[in-house]
Amino acid sequence: MTIIEDIKEKIMKIGNLKTEEMAEAGLHFGHRTSKVHPKMKPYIEGVRNTIHILNLEKTKEEFEKTLKYLQETVSEGKLVLFVGTKIQFKQIIKDAAEEMGMPYIAGRWLGGTFTNFNTLKKRIEYFKELESKKSKGELEKYTKKERADMDKELKDLEIKFGGVKNMAGLPEAIFVLDMKKDFLAIKEAKTKGVKVIGIADTNADPSLADYIIPANDDAISSVRFILDKVKEAVVKSKK
């Protein structure tokens, strides 16, 4: 079996997406009708109590395209950076990305992460050097106050760079949980030619992403379902 045939076989095993399971997870609930983005209208099937309802057949179709792209990308050894800065998703995206062996940003997006990547790399190198010194006991020679200051600095650096400290270069793509909240990440990705994958709720502009998953980007059950399916596809592609 050739490499291409092997990849195609793995892609055929994607996700087994079912609209019933998506509905149970709440993927179909959009925002209030007053917040709709005009370009999301093709993915909407109706309204319930002033809330737009997404067409899960179309969600499934786009989701499968996204999973296929992810599998092909990861099969080639390329990285996908996962970005989710909403407080309620910080631990979910961290856990999922670590299980996939992928970088992530679960705190605030730092301006210049892509467009000024060399500066970011220097800060990461400093962070890793400080981390290494602490693990080797090399900070013991400093005073108690100096060590306390360094510990505080390490915690701050972990929050900012912990998820990307092993990212040696720009990723092939970013996966954004909220396209409106993390618009700056999308803007920088497009500037640097990094592909954009995004969960597109009814208030988002789907044309900003190369691959979308039309779905609820607020509910934990919805985001967890999506990340579980993504994780399943990525892990399969590595085997």
Q: Which residues share a beta bridge with 173? A: 80, 195
Distance CA 135, CA 173 (A): 33
| pLDDT at position 216 | 98
| pLDDT at position 92 | 95
For the domain spanning 3-114+170-238, the CATH number is: 3.40.50.10490
For the beta sheet containing 195-200, the strands, ordered from the edge strand earlier in sequence to the opposite edge, are 104-105, 80-83, 173-176, 195-200, 211-214
Exposure string of 52-75, with b = 16+ CB inside 10 Å and e = fewer, is bbbbbeebbebbbebbbbbbbbbb
Q: Which residue reads 């996962």 in tokens?
A: 82
What pTM did the predictor assign? Answer: 0.89
Distance CA 125, CA 119 (A): 10
**Token couple for 18:** 């079912």
CB 43 within 8 A of CB 200: yes
Which residue stretches of the chain have pLDDT < 70?
1-15, 239
| pLDDT at position 142 | 86
| pLDDT at position 89 | 94
Distance CA 14, CA 234 (A): 10
Burial class from Cβ neighbours inside 10 Å (0-12, 13-18, 19+) for residue 26 reads middle
| pLDDT at position 140 | 86
